[in-house]
Chains A and B, each alone.
Chain A
């Protein structure tokens, strides 16, 4: 085998220019293959890493979108969950909340407001009052500047307000403008847990689907069912959530690019293949004398066919290796522009070399076979 590869290398080396031109198609084709796979693998890697263990593959998420701002009763109810669990293909359903904020009603004398409410954060910059971490069942409350304006004419500090029937003392006011979103009221951690946490609206239903289930269909059915039978349907609408919507759009662009490069790869490999075939035909007809001599000294027609096939494959594999090298360079360049890192995997390398080998075998076969089947006496007349 070794000497056969040497023979092939030697004969390829004899026509470097011609063979390099033939390899160009393979080089471009394989470099494209490397780029496509690197981008695809890099992207897949980023997406799965970003999702951690919560991969979205096995679930459909239905969103509850309230029409009013805050209503503690809104969302999916346990009954809704059992309805959703009945949909064919759904394994089990979990209700959860997209926000950690409870809806509540606040009252000061005759004034009411619907608010969002949460447990107090570690630090909060106040406009008025002093901030400290409330312990135990301390009934202090920090309210937003907006809410203060809504409820009180002047001073708000130390006033008593009722939130869902429980009395709280206003301890301070914080600015609600700025970039960061803040709920209208913060209360102590203990009271929040005790009084409000259960009322955080379950605005997400996660439908864990069975393997191979049609997620699109399940999503549609679930939304339809909820619109008809959802216990809180009067106050809201339902829709399928696409947690990866941004990346989906990105995926589409990426797919378009991938298809484009794949198209280039396919075309170059096809042209490369035809080039290989052409150059192998030329080689075979140039070397009729050699074929005759080898046949006269014991080479079988299979030996001859293999010799030219090996040559054609080696030509393509060399092209493939150069293509891989070019692929590495291109991927490095692409990485400067991509928001994630394209990676060249071992699988991509193996595939590239397999494709090169396949091109060599497929397009080298007919010329090699022609060499093998030539009539011996005719071959020996060649000079």
Chain B
């Protein structure tokens, strides 16, 4: 699915990422753990083609996207990737239905009935009957379900989730993780950032990040 070689990222003099090497295979469920400020979001922004200013090489589906036009990047993000952001990032004045529909508005993919696609994912994340509600009328767990539905409505091959359970209690976290597990079982590659080691248990593999460096096991982070 993707291959990261010697990737680095600096903000002025500050080094946010250094010498990152990582390979993720199709169908994998990867958890990225690490303390706050360690560079987790910075890394997945690069993986999700949201940030193009890094050093080193990043191949997504074997292709380097550094020279790819901005328009094409938008299209790839819309059609092949699905994001679940920290703090949901829903449009507060749009209904559940309208929030989930957003990727379809811009999609160039051959789509069957858009309404059906939206209703499918609403059912999948268990939000039936809430289509017309505003996000403010939903619980945190329900809002995160909307965010997940939005991320998967276009049937992406890769889901990138940043702290999908960060704002949720453990029971709700478990429900959300069940959705991710199900998606992964259906063949979608999932990369998930989390603080919570219980949540990370759901992943097949966990990598650790500290001060911008990536480690393959927990012990090396703690030392």
Interface residues of A (CB under 8 A from B): 3, 10-11, 14, 289-290, 292-303, 376-377, 380, 383
- Interface size counted on chain B using CB atoms at 8 A: 24
B45 touches A377 (CB 8 A): yes
* Distance, CA A299 to CA B93, complexed state (A): 19
Partner of B106, one of A289, A294, A377: A294
Q: A302-B71, A377-B50, A377-B51 are in contact. Are A297 and B89 (CB under 8 A)?
A: no
Complex contact A380–B107 (CB within 8 A): no
CB of B77 closer than 8 Å to a CB of A:
yes
CB B209 to nearest CB in A, in angstroms, measures 17
Q: Which residue of A lies closest to B102 (CB)?
A: A297
CB of B91 within 8 Å of the partner chain: yes
Q: Is the CB of A299 within 8 A of B51?
A: no
Contact B87 A300 (CB under 8 A): no
- Residues of chain B within 8 A (CB-CB) of A299 are 74, 78, 105-106
Tell yes or no: B163 within 8 A of A by CB: no
Flag if A301 contacts B70 (CB, 8 Å).
yes
Chain A min CB distance to B196 (Å): 21
CB distance B106 to A296 under 8 Å?
no
Which residue of the partner chain, among B71, B87, B103, contacts A297 with CB atoms under 8 Å? B103
Name B's A-contacting residues (CB within 8 A): 45, 48, 50-51, 70-71, 74-75, 77-79, 83, 85, 87, 89, 91, 93, 102-103, 105-107, 150, 154
- Residue among A292, A297, A376 having the largest count of chain B Cβ atoms under 10 Å: A297
A297-B150 in contact (CB<8A) = yes
> Do B50 and A380 have beta carbons less than 8 Å apart?
yes
Q: Is the CB of B78 within 8 A of A290?
A: no
When the two chains form their complex, are residues A300 and B106 in contact, meaning their CB atoms are under 8 A apart? yes
28 A-B pairs whose Cβ atoms sit less than 8 Å apart in the complex: A3-B105, A289-B89, A289-B91, A290-B91, A293-B89, A294-B102, A294-B106, A295-B77, A296-B48, A296-B83, A297-B102, A297-B150, A298-B75, A298-B77, A298-B78, A298-B79, A298-B106, A299-B78, A300-B71, A300-B74, A301-B70, A301-B71, A301-B74, A303-B106, A376-B51, A377-B45, A377-B51, A383-B87
Inter-chain CA distance A11–B85, complex, in Å, is: 23
Supplied contacts A290-B91, A299-B105, 14 more A-B pairs, CB within 8 Å:
A3-B105, A11-B93, A292-B89, A293-B102, A294-B106, A297-B77, A297-B150, A298-B75, A298-B78, A298-B107, A300-B71, A303-B106, A380-B50, A383-B87
Contact residues in A for B85 (Cβ distance below 8 Å): 296, 380
- Tell me whether chain A's interface is mostly helix, strand or loop, or mixed: helix
Most chain A CB atoms below 10 A, which of B71, B75, B102: B102
Q: How far is the CB of B86 from chain A (nearest CB, A)?
A: 9
B1 CB, nearest partner CB in chain A, Å: 19
Nearest residue, chain A, Cβ from B51: A377
* Distance A230 CA – B130 CA, assembled complex (angstroms): 96
Which of A11, A289, A296, A303 interacts with B77 by CB under 8 Å? A296
User: How near does chain A come to B164, taking the closest CB pair, in angstroms?
Assistant: 15
User: In this complex, what residue of A is CB-closest to B114?
Assistant: A3
CB distance from B203 to the nearest CB of A (A): 22
B100–chain A nearest beta-carbon distance, Å: 10
With a 10 A CB-CB cut-off, give which of A292, A377, A383 has the most chain B CB atoms: A377
Q: In the assembly, what is the distance between CA of A68 and CA of B45, in Å?
A: 101
B contact residues around A3 at 8 Å (CB)? 105
Residues of B within 8 A of A292 (CB): 89
Please give, as numbers and ranges, the residues of chain B lying within 8 Å of A294 by CB-CB distance: 102, 106
With contacts A294-B102, A295-B74, A299-B106 known, is A14 near B93, CB below 8 A? Answer: yes
Beta-carbon nearest neighbor of A373 in chain B? B70
Give the one of A3, A293, A377 with max B CB within 10 A: A293
Contacts of A303 in B (CB 8 A): 74, 106
> Closest chain A residue to B93 by CB distance?
A14
| 10 A-B pairs with the lowest CB-CB distances in the bound complex, closest first | A298-B78, A298-B106, A297-B103, A300-B74, A300-B71, A377-B51, A299-B106, A297-B102, A376-B50, A296-B83
- Cβ-defined contact, B71 with A296, below 8 A: no
**What's the nearest-Cβ distance from chain B to residue A285, in Å?**
16
Residue of A nearest to B109 (CB): A298
CA distance A380 to B51 in the complex (A): 11
Nearest A-chain residue to B89, judged by Cβ: A293
Chain A residue at smallest Cβ distance from B105: A3
Chain A: CB-nearest residue to B90: A293
CB-CB nearest in chain B for A11: B93
Contact yes or no, B93 A300, CB < 8 A:
no
Does the CB pair B91–A300 fall under 8 Å? no
